[in-house]
Amino acid sequence: MKAAIETIMPALLRTVGAAGVYARTPVFEEVNDRLSLLISRYREPATEVLHFPPVMSRQLLETSGYLDSFPHLLGCVSCLEGDEMKIRSAVESGGWLTTLKASELVLAPAACYPVYALQAEVGRLPDEGRLFDVSAFCFRHEATSEAGRLQSFRMREFVCVGTPTQALEFRSRWIPRARQLVERLELPYEVVAASDPFFGRGGQLAASRQIEQSLKFEMVIPIGSAPTACMSFNYHLDHFGSTWSLRTADGAIAHSSCVAFGMERLVLALFANHGLDPWQWPAAVREALHLA
Ligand code: 5GP
Ligand code: ZN
């Protein structure tokens, strides 16, 4: 039983004073947890699992080239610095915002950025490449906050770092696997060529290059009437390999790819397509999610 987005958002999420930022209700979290476990069951063997915090090193993100492509989406952690007198006077003058100083942390805009820096620490890749399963609460300074666009949301990613063939085959294996996953959840979907929201006029060129070279695909699922990107399948070529000097076993620059799951969007898609009570969802969907 389909539910309108205008019904499901207030039923499942609570507004907490800022656009696109929500508290999650227990039923929302229950489905999120069970979906996370279902996704884990699709993990390939020999995958390293890491859970990242919602903040990451500013320098690491700068080195990754994020400011060239998406400066408009970045959030930086800023703090009051100095002795007690300086901080107290900044607060009491009411001008504390102008006294803030950028710290060494930014809010993670995607889960996979720390993986490449981590690999850079350990030398050459093994013959078979390396696989990761990572997750983080992500922040994006979105210009709009329509239903399903959150400023703060959880991203789960599977990442491959290896030869060009390993990175491409990893993505090719994941597209049918992700199709199978959403088919078990009885969600309507489409996999479409896509591009990232690159900054500025130069960004349009980067976006059309991404489409031409088939670097990004998205799985689009209707949430209410709006088709919404709930997963992405990304091939980075040697972007992170060159940036971090990552080498394959035979010394060539490594390539990478990642598959990203937008957890809140997937959970909203389940409620939007099957109704507000998970215990009334189709039996096969409940079985896939282990919702007895
Ligand atoms: P990408 O890195 O491809 O832009 O994002 C990966 C996934 O994160 C998307 O497919 C989507 O599911 C999720 N995501 C991206 N932006 C937002 C957003 O503004 N709100 C929510 N809820 N999820 C997002
Ligand atoms: Zn990624």
Is the shortest distance between the CB of 58 and ligand 1 below 6 Å?
A: no
For residue 275, report the distance from its CA to the centre of ligand 2, in Å: 31
CA 171 to chain centre: 16
**One digit per residue, pLDDT tens: the chain, 292 residues?**
888 888 899 999 999 999 999 999 999 999 999 999 999 999 999 999 999 999 999 999 999 999 999 999 999 999 999 999 999 999 999 999 999 999 999 999 999 999 999 999 999 999 999 999 999 999 999 988 888 899 999 999 999 999 999 999 999 999 999 999 999 999 999 999 999 999 999 899 999 999 999 999 999 999 988 899 999 999 999 999 999 999 999 999 999 999 999 999 999 999 999 999 999 999 999 999 999 7
Beta-strand relationship, 130-139 and 47-51: parallel
Domains and CATH numbers, the chain: 5-56+109-288 (3.30.930.10)
Q: Of ligand 1's atoms, which has the minimum distance to the CA of residue 155?
A: 8
Residue 247 is classified by DSSP as B
3-state SS assignment for residue 280: helix
Give the phi and the psi of residue 289 in degrees, each rounded to 5. -90, 0
Q: Do 256 and 164 meet the contact criterion of CB atoms below 8 Å apart? A: no
Q: Do 257 and 235 meet the contact criterion of CB atoms below 8 Å apart? A: yes
Is the shortest distance between the CB of 264 and ligand 1 below 6 Å?
A: yes
- In terms of Cβ atoms closer than 10 Å to its own Cβ (0-12, 13-18, 19+), residue 253 is middle
Nearest ligand to the C-alpha atom of residue 239: 2
Closest residue by CA, ligand 1 atom 8? 262
Pocket test for ligand 1, best of 141, 153, 258 (most atoms within 8 A of CB): 153
Closest residue by CA, ligand 1 atom 14? 262
CA distances from 150 to 22, 32, 141, 207, 244 (A): 8, 15, 9, 22, 30
